[in-house]
Amino acid sequence: MFISIAIDGPAGSGKSSLAKEFAKRHNEFLYINTGAMFRAFALHFIKNNIDIENEQQMIDDIQKFSIKLDEDNIYIIENNQSTNVSNEIKEPYVANLASKIAQFEFIRAKLLIEQRNIAKNNNVIMDGRDIGTVVLPNANIKIFLNASSLERAIRRKKELEILNPENIYDLDQIKKDIENRDFQDMNRKIAPLKKANDAIEVNTDGLTVKTCCDLIDEIYNNYLIK
């Protein structure tokens, strides 16, 4: 029997950093970043000038490519060519579009099948917005991470500056983008961002990745004891 751990929370709350650290500590677990999957779709739409107001255009486009997750990297595979888009999908304009396309049921359905199949055959720690409520409602452990919008904006700004040191990023604009993303995620009709009733909430304000992971380790060890 495989174990699944669901990590949910708003943008920048520390989901990916925590999940990656946990998977490094417990190499029997596979880390799945569902947000990166949506952002890869969004990036492909942007690069191919797909109008997200035109559902048929999107439906046709998603038949032309596939995505592959490999540890910390995500690839778009098209015409037998694989392109690593791990850094590019972290740009704010890609994240903003990802939140919008996540409202389309046909996109969520396509990714949902793949996400559940992975969890059926592996121990997984999977992060996203609706893992504990929709993707893996029967996950063994459910965690909901949270942090203030300012804290999350500071983290995102640092991350972007490391990826693209030649660019200048405005903290206030990043904070506004995050708050807009929160509103979109929490108010979409399909699979909105919300805490599962049986999830454990962890506020990550001021906490290091190590400290957060220590907390999740404790929760995981308590589960194993039971």
The count of domains in the chain is 1
Starting from the edge strand earliest in sequence, which strands make up the sheet with 81-84, in order?
Answer: 66-70, 73-78, 81-84
- The reply to whether 16 sits in an annotated binding site is yes
Cβ(209)–Cβ(11) under 8 Å? no
- The reply to whether 15 sits in an annotated binding site is yes
- Residue 57: its pLDDT value, please? 96
Query: What CATH number is associated with residue 173?
Result: 3.40.50.300
Specify if 164 maps to a domain: yes
Secondary-structure breakdown of the chain: helix, strand, coil percentages, each rounded to the nearest 5: 50, 20, 30
Specify if 72 maps to a domain: no
Full pLDDT tens readout for the chain, 226 residues? 899 999 999 989 999 999 999 999 999 999 999 989 999 999 999 999 999 999 999 999 999 999 988 777 899 999 999 999 999 998 889 988 998 998 899 999 999 988 999 999 999 999 999 999 999 999 999 999 999 999 999 999 999 999 889 999 999 999 999 999 899 889 988 888 999 999 999 999 999 999 999 999 999 999 999 7
* H or E, element range at 216: helix 209-225
- The reply to whether 82 sits in an annotated binding site is no
- Residue 120: its pLDDT value, please? 94
- Residue 29: its pLDDT value, please? 96
Cβ(18)–Cβ(209) under 8 Å? yes
- Residue 133: its pLDDT value, please? 95
Identify which of 71, 91, 83 has the alpha carbon closest to the alpha carbon of residue 164: 91
Domain residue limits at 157 = 4-34+92-225
Q: DSSP letter for 145, please.
A: E
DSSP 16-69: HHHHHHHHHH-TTEEEEEHHHHHHHHHHHHHHTT--TT-HHHHHHHTTS-EEEE
Specify if 47 maps to a domain: no
CB within 8 Å of 157: residues ≥ 6 apart? 169, 171, 174
- Residue 23: its pLDDT value, please? 95
What six digits make up the tokens of 112? 């949902």
Specify if 53 maps to a domain: no
- Residue 72: its pLDDT value, please? 75
Residues 116-167: tens digit of each pLDDT: 999 999 999 999 999 999 999 999 999 999 999 999 999 999 999 998 899 9
What CA–CA distance (Å, rounded) separates 68 from 56? 24
- The reply to whether 17 sits in an annotated binding site is yes
Within 10 Å of residue 192's Cβ, how many Cβ atoms?
16
- The reply to whether 11 sits in an annotated binding site is yes
- Residue 68: its pLDDT value, please? 87
Within 10 Å of residue 119's Cβ, how many Cβ atoms?
23
- Residue 65: its pLDDT value, please? 93
Specify if 200 maps to a domain: yes
What CA–CA distance (Å, rounded) separates 130 from 128? 6
What six digits make up the tokens of 204? 């990550």
pTM of this prediction?
Answer: 0.85
- Residue 99: its pLDDT value, please? 85
